Chain A
Amino acid sequence: MSDPKTERLLNLTMALLATKRYLTKIEIFQSVAGYKGTPEAMERMFERDKDDLRSLGIEIEVGNLDNYFEDEQGYRIIPDSYGLDIGEITPRELALLSVAAHSWSEGVLSKSSQSALRKLRSLGISIDTEDLAMGWARFENPQPSFDQLWQGLEETKTLQFKYSSTTLALRTVDAYGLTLWRGFWYLVGFDHERNEIRVFKLIRIIDQVTTIGKSGSYAIPSDFDISNYVTNFTEEKKHQAKLLIRKDKAQILRSEGIVAPHDDQWDQITLSYEYQEAFLRKLLWFGPDVQVLEPTALIDAVIGRLTEVLS
C-alpha cells in the first residue's frame, strides 16, 4: 500500500519546489493530488509527510504569507536548498569520486557513496577516466554492526550489544565516534558499566546492536578527539628475542630479523616483537623448526603452551 503515499510525497515535493511564494495548508489540500478525508485527517497526513520529507534531507521552509493574515503560515522548498550545488567539478574529479565510490565492498558506506555518485552524474558533467591511473581497491565495511552503530551515533541514541572481550558481556555504550585503523574498524564511546570511554573492535561485536535510548540521550563531549584513543593501542613496548631456526625453514620469520649462521643445521635470528601472545603463535607455527633461546619468559610460555596441547 505504499504507492498512494509515494505518489502524494512526490506531488507535494514537486508543488513546493515549483511555487514562487509560500503555499498555505488549505491551498496544498485543495491543489496537491492525494490529500483527502476530513480536515483533521488531512492535517495529520500533512504533518507526517513533512517529517518524512525532512528525513530525506528535504528542507521545507515555513514562512508568513503576507500582512493580511499574520498568523497564516505557508510552505515552500527553496530550489537552491534542495538542489545539489557542489561548485565546480571537473570530469577528472568526477572520475576520482567514481573510483572512491566504488571502493567500499559492502554496507552503508558502499550504498551511500554510490547514491552520491548517481546524484553527481545527474549534473551533466562528463566523466573522464582516460588518463586516470588508479587501480581498483575494495575496503571492508563490516555488516551489519557498522550501519547500526552509525545510526546510533548520528541520532545519539544509547546502544547495547554483546561484546566478546575477556568475557562475553552485554555492553551499554554512548557512541562518540567510529574509526578505521590498520584495516580494522573501531567504535569509541562511553561505557556505562565501566564508567569511562572505551574502545571496541567492531569484529568483536556479536549479533545485533540495539538502541535503548531516545534520540539525543547523550551529548558527545566537545573536546572529544577520536585520534587520542586510537593511537593508544600502539604504545606497546618492544621486546627482543633470540631464536634458533632450522636452515631453509621459518621463511616468514627470516625477513623480520637479523639472521646469522649457527651451525650446519641451524641459523640464529634476533628479532623484536610487540605482543607476546601473537608472537608465540607465530613461533609455534614452525613447530620443531624454531627454538627460543631468549628471553626466559618466552621459553616458559612456549613450554607451557606445548604442555597444554599434550595434556
Chain B
Amino acid sequence: MNESALDRTARALDLIPFVLENPGLSIEELAQEFATSPKEITKDLNLLFVCGLPGYTPLELIDLSFESGSVSVIEPQSLDRPRKLNRREVISLILGLEGLATLRAEGDQLRSEILRLRDSLITTIETANLQIATHEEFLPPSPFLQVIEEAISGRTDLDLEYLSGNRDERSERRVTPAQLYTENGFIYLIGYCFKSGADRTFRLDRIVKCARSSDPIAAPNTPPNDSQPGTYKALAEEPILEIAHRAKNFLEENAAVLTILSTSPDFTLAQISILDPEWLIRSALGLGGAVSVRSPATLKSQIRDRAQETLDRYNSNSV
C-alpha cells in the first residue's frame, strides 16, 4: 500500500514526542502502537534521521538511535511536544466516553467521573455544531448492563438464565464474562460458558436473569453439554433464498451469512450459510412471501408443513 506524504508527515511528527516519552520500544512495538507495519516505521525513522533545523549540521539534525533494536530519541530539536488534538480525535474520545458511561447506571460514581472527563474535553473544541451527537439511549436498553460490566471488571462469574431462540428453551448457565460488544442494534456478551465448555456469545435481550455468582465454581468435570448451535449436522446443501426487496431487514441482519448470487428488480438471490435449519424454518414463517427458499426441496416442504400446522390452529375451532 502506498501511503500519502501527508499521512507519513503526520505520523513522523507524532513519532518523535511519543518515543521521547516512551523510549526503548522496538520497531515492531512502535508499528503496533501506530497501527502500521515495521517497514513503514523504519522508513519514518530513516527519514526523520535526515531532518532538522536550517544549517542541517549534525548539531541541528534530529538524533535518534534505533540500531540496537530499541528506539530512542537523543535530540528532538523543535519536535519535542505532541501535536494538539484535532476535532475528530476529541469527538471520538467524547463518544467513547459516552458509550462507557451508558454501561453504568445513573448515580454510579464511575459514571459521573467519566461524564466529568467528557465535559472537560468538550470545552477544548468548538461545540456550536458538534455534528455528531449521542443520545441518552446510546445502546439498546438492558437492565443487566451494569451488573455485567462490573462482573467483567471485577473478574467474577455470572449466573444467567438465558433463552435460546432456535430451540425455544430456557437454560441456566454459569459464565465467565469477557467482553460486551454491539452489532446491528443488539448488545452481545462474550464469555466462557461452563455448560458448553467453550466461549459463547449471548444476546443481552435474551437474558432473563443475571446475577454475579457468589460461590467459586470448579472447572466442569463432566463433558460439556452443548446446547447451542455448533453441534448440528451441517446442511448437505446450503439453502438458496429469494429475498424480496421489502425484506431489507432480513438482508441487513444476516449480511454476514448471506452470499449474494444475483439481484433483479424484484428480488435478491442469495445463498445462506447456517448451522441450524430450524432457524430458517422459524424465520421463514414470519417473513411470509418476502423470503422464500428456492432449494433444497426438503427445507421448502418443512416450511410449508410448519405454516400449514400453524394455520390449522385458526381454521379449527380449537379455542
Could you tell me which A residues sit within 8 Å of B by CB distance? 2-3, 5-7, 9-11, 13-15, 17-18, 31-33, 52, 55-58, 79, 81-87, 93, 96-97, 99-105, 108-124, 132-140, 150, 153-154, 164, 166-168, 177-184, 203-204, 220, 226-227, 230, 244, 249-252, 255, 280-289, 291, 293, 299, 302-311
Residues of B contacting A52 with CB < 8 Å? 5-6, 9
Which residue of the partner chain, among B135, B181, B186, B283, contacts A181 with CB atoms under 8 Å? B135
Assess whether A17 is in contact with B165, with CB atoms less than 8 Å apart: no
Given contacts A83-B82, A285-B165, contact A122 B20 (CB under 8 A): yes
Assess whether B21 is in contact with A177, with CB atoms less than 8 Å apart: no
Which residue of the partner chain, among A11, A115, A180, A252, contacts B52 with CB atoms under 8 Å? A11
Residues of B contacting A302 with CB < 8 Å? 310, 314
Closest A residue to B245 by beta carbon equals A168
Assess whether B81 is in contact with A82, with CB atoms less than 8 Å apart: yes
Residues of A contacting B10 with CB < 8 Å? 56
Name 29 A/B residue pairs within 8 A (Cβ), A-sorted: A9-B5, A15-B54, A15-B78, A18-B77, A56-B10, A56-B13, A79-B81, A84-B81, A96-B113, A100-B99, A100-B114, A101-B93, A103-B99, A118-B34, A122-B22, A135-B152, A138-B182, A167-B245, A178-B133, A182-B135, A250-B168, A282-B286, A284-B282, A287-B306, A288-B309, A291-B313, A306-B307, A309-B304, A310-B308
Minimal beta-carbon separation of A230 from chain B (angstroms): 6
Given contacts A140-B182, A284-B286, contact A86 B124 (CB under 8 A): yes
Task: Identify which of residues 257-309 in chain B touch chain A, using a CB-to-CB cut-off of 8 Å.
Answer: 281-289, 292, 303-304, 306-309
Is the CB of B237 closer than 8 A to any CB of chain A?
no
CA distance A109 to B17 in the complex (A): 23
Is the CB of B86 closer than 8 A to any CB of chain A?
yes
Minimal beta-carbon separation of B43 from chain A (angstroms): 8
Is the CB of B199 closer than 8 A to any CB of chain A?
no
What are the 9 closest A-B residue pairs judged by CB atoms, nearest first?
A: A135-B152, A281-B286, A100-B96, A116-B89, A113-B92, A83-B81, A31-B54, A284-B286, A122-B82
Given contacts A116-B93, A179-B133, contact A14 B307 (CB under 8 A): no
CA distance A229 to B52 in the complex (A): 52
Is the CB of B134 closer than 8 A to any CB of chain A?
yes
CA distance A83 to B85 in the complex (A): 9
**Number of A-B residue pairs with CB-CB distance less than 8 Å in the complex they form:** 342
Residues of A contacting B149 with CB < 8 Å? 134-135, 137
Residues of B contacting A134 with CB < 8 Å? 100, 110, 149, 153
Could you tell me which B residues sit within 8 Å of A by CB distance? 2-6, 8-10, 12-14, 17-18, 20-22, 33-35, 43, 47-48, 50-56, 77-79, 81-93, 95-97, 99-100, 103, 110, 113-114, 117, 120, 124, 129, 131-135, 137-141, 148-154, 163-165, 168-170, 177-187, 206, 208, 245-246, 248, 252, 281-289, 292, 303-304, 306-314, 318-319
Assess whether B288 is in contact with A308, with CB atoms less than 8 Å apart: yes
CA distance A285 to B100 in the complex (A): 34
Closest B residue to A87 by beta carbon equals B120
CA distance A7 to B6 in the complex (A): 11
Closest B residue to A310 by beta carbon equals B307
Minimal beta-carbon separation of B136 from chain A (angstroms): 9
Residues of A contacting B78 with CB < 8 Å? 14-15, 17-18, 79
Given contacts A57-B86, A100-B100, A287-B309, contact A244 B319 (CB under 8 A): yes
Assess whether A96 is in contact with B83, with CB atoms less than 8 Å apart: no
Assess whether B79 is in contact with A84, with CB atoms less than 8 Å apart: no
Residues of B contacting A17 with CB < 8 Å? 78-79
CA distance A132 to B87 in the complex (A): 27
Minimal beta-carbon separation of A46 from chain B (angstroms): 15
Assess whether A285 is in contact with B92, with CB atoms less than 8 Å apart: no
Residues of A contacting B100 with CB < 8 Å? 96, 99-100, 103, 134, 137
Given contacts A123-B82, A293-B319, contact A135 B310 (CB under 8 A): no
Given contacts A182-B141, A281-B287, A288-B310, contact A139 B182 (CB under 8 A): yes
Given A14-B51, A82-B84, 17 more A-B residue pairs with CB atoms under 8 Å apart are A14-B79, A56-B10, A56-B83, A83-B82, A84-B83, A103-B99, A116-B85, A118-B33, A118-B82, A122-B14, A122-B17, A122-B81, A133-B154, A138-B182, A182-B141, A285-B286, A288-B312
Assess whether B18 is in contact with A32, with CB atoms less than 8 Å apart: no
CA distance A154 to B88 in the complex (A): 10
Residues of B contacting A97 with CB < 8 Å? 93, 97, 117
CA distance A11 to B48 in the complex (A): 9
Residues of A contacting B185 with CB < 8 Å? 182-184
Closest B residue to A79 by beta carbon equals B81
Minimal beta-carbon separation of A298 from chain B (angstroms): 11
CA distance A119 to B15 in the complex (A): 9
Closest B residue to A282 by beta carbon equals B286
